[in-house]
Structure 1
Amino acid sequence: MQASQASSRLGQSRTSIGTPAAPRAERFRLTGPSVRLDPRIYAVRKDIADIALADRVFAPHYAEAEQARVAVPSVALREGPSDDARAVSQLLFGEGFAVIDSEGGWAWGYGLHDHYVGYLPAAVLGDMGAEPDHVVRAASALVFADADIKSPVVATLPMGSRFAATAEGAFLRAENGFIHSRHAGAIAAAEQDVVAVAERLLGQPYRWGGRGGDGVDCSGLVQTAFALCGLAVPRDTDQQAEAIGEEIADGAALRRGDLIFFPGHVGLMADGETLVHANAHWMAVVREPLADVIARLQPEHEKPVLSRRRVLP
């Protein structure tokens, strides 16, 4: 499908095809069949779609994404505009969010780091502000009112939170307070050991859809750990299995950093025999023998291990 003209803006939020164009907007015409896209990573609903997808899908309305940044320590990304809707992921402080639609106090769009689509409360978003250049590397980081560990704590940020800062002694001065330099570092200085990053979250509760804010799920642990090592990976286990790394040959020994994919689950090898993973069995991030995990899955799955993949050389 092709768009005869590209529009830089279709009204403030929505413009219906076939209605008079809003001021400064161009009308366009679509031809050809609509393409089926994965709704997890493409912002398409029955009533509206991202204008960037106008060359692939038909929709009654299109909207240009408006970028915002998460201004709270963490927020669940949900499948519907309700606190009762199932969480599908989580965004962390300083991460970007592309708003496609906003109504009833809820913003619908996608995270800029992985394009994952969902709803979050519009009130948690702020303007883009300064581009983050630092990231929380510890399991969590305290934000102090002053550059003094005895000063009041004004917030706690989870691993992976991003912020702009300048050095001030042993602290990093951010917009909303001071973070000790032992808890965070420059984004440009990527870490080298993905397993060591994941192990900082040992003991953290298992949380469906979590990426480190008060809990983490299996693919969220993998995504967060690789992100701190400078490698962007998709959000869900099936996406990760298809998009990253290379299949390890049958019979080849496993090593630190290898990914093991199970039905609906993923973990990282700490060594040739030990898996680090966030799991609902222990309801926590744990280290345990890979053989124990396989034995636990065998009664329910004919093939407990679906794939073994090596991401790092």
Structure 2
Amino acid sequence: MNSLGKQAKRRESTNTPEGFGLIGRSAALDRRIHAVRGDIADIALAGVLFAPHYARPMTRRCSVPVAAVREAPGDDAELISELLHGEAFEILDLSGAWAWGYSAHDHYVGYIRQDVLDDSPAPAWRVRVRSAEVLNAATEGASVRERLSMGALVAGTLDGDGVETAKGWIARESLQPANHVGGDPVTFAQQMIGVPYLMGGRSVDGIDCSGLVQLSLALTGVSAPRDSDLQAEALGTPRAPDAALRRGDFIFFEGHVGMMVDAERMIHANGNANAVSIDPVADVRARAAAKGVDSFMVRRA
């Protein structure tokens, strides 16, 4: 995500002790990726901090094409991420219409509506194209029941040149095995060119800079954190100072990330174009410098 304010807000809460009424050992944790509130914490943190109550996660999966993960329980709360169809959410607490926990693929903590989660089986396939149609039958002229975004997961069995799922039939060419490893993340990212920019988004309906990187890497079997500052610590290795930029390099500005398409251009979801676009790095640097950010970092995949 390329909002410094948003990341700063989430990081600030990491070091805020309010709500811990017990005295004991605790640690400053990043609450974006460590599930802890004043009243409850993930049982995995029991040896790290002292909390009034610990909960074991209960796994459920997203049953709709895209579901909002929010900062607080409420449809008007800030969108911090999204869950795609078939992705798992680890529930730690249920209250009213909302579940609190974290996305299994990146451990990102937030609230999601209970009615978009179910106990469907583990998926076998992942959507590899920008958008996949779910048809009511494997016949010509079949109607479209819904469309799933790149990265969505489905359970189903091979049926001719497609996969039959609980919701309908999907062309095999639109899918790859869920456990697929390999490929070029930049090629996947390029399929998303023109997708609207959306802070917190991870789908073809809207995506942010770190969401684009995370999603593109997932298609190659590589797990990545949710936010750009976390990605800057986890992805790739530092580039040699004298090395030229090349395709696949991750390029980080303050609060922003993209991937190099070649030695001079990067692909990124950005507010300038209000969409996913390919731009000369020199132009991106100039815009950043105009805002007082005159440095960047490159990590090699």
Fold-level similarity (TM above 0.5) = yes
Match of 2:68 in 1: 76
List structure 1 segments (4+ residues) > 6 angstroms apart after TM superposition: none
**Partner residue of 2:210 out of 205, 212, 219:** 219
Q: Deviations over 1:232-255 (max 9, x none)?
A: 011100000011111112231011
1:309 has 2:290 as partner: no
Q: 1:177 to 1:302 in 2, by over 3 A?
A: closer
Match of 1:100 in 2: 92
Offset at residue 121 of structure 1 (A) = 0.4
Which ranges of structure 2 fall in alignment gaps of 5 or more residues? 1-21
RMSD of aligned Cα (Å): 1.4
Question: Structure 1 length as normaliser, TM-score?
Answer: 0.87
**Partner residue of 2:53 out of 48, 51, 61:** 61
Match of 1:34 in 2: 26
Please tell me the residue identity of whatever aligns with 1:121. Answer: R
Which ranges of structure 1 fall in alignment gaps of 5 or more residues? 1-29
Question: Structure 2 length as normaliser, TM-score?
Answer: 0.90
SS at match of 1:308: strand
Q: 1:188 to 1:49 in 2, by over 3 A?
A: closer
Offset at residue 303 of structure 1 (A) = 2.4
Which one has a larger percent helix, Structure 1 or Structure 2? 2
Counterparts of 1:218-257 in structure 2, within 5 Å, are 218-257=209-248
Residues in 1 aligned to 2:227 and 2:167: alpha-carbon distance in whole angstroms: 32
Offset at residue 32 of structure 1 (A) = 5.2
Match of 1:145 in 2: 136
Greater RCO (CA < 8 Å, at least 6 residues apart): 2
Asked if the contact 2:192/2:204 (under 8 Å) is kept, the reply is no
Please tell me the residue identity of whatever aligns with 1:230. Answer: G
- Counting matched residue pairs gives 280
Asked if the contact 1:172/1:180 (under 8 Å) is kept, the reply is yes
Q: Deviations over 1:244-297 (max 9, x none)?
A: 111112231011000000010000000000110000111100011111111111
Same amino acid, percent of matched pairs = 48
Asked if the contact 2:23/2:50 (under 8 Å) is kept, the reply is no
Max radius of gyration: which structure?
1
Residues in 1 aligned to 2:44 and 2:23: alpha-carbon distance in whole angstroms: 16
Q: Deviations over 1:166-205 (max 9, x none)?
A: 1111211111110111211212333411100000000000
SS at match of 2:60: strand
Match of 2:158 in 1: 167
Match of 1:291 in 2: 282
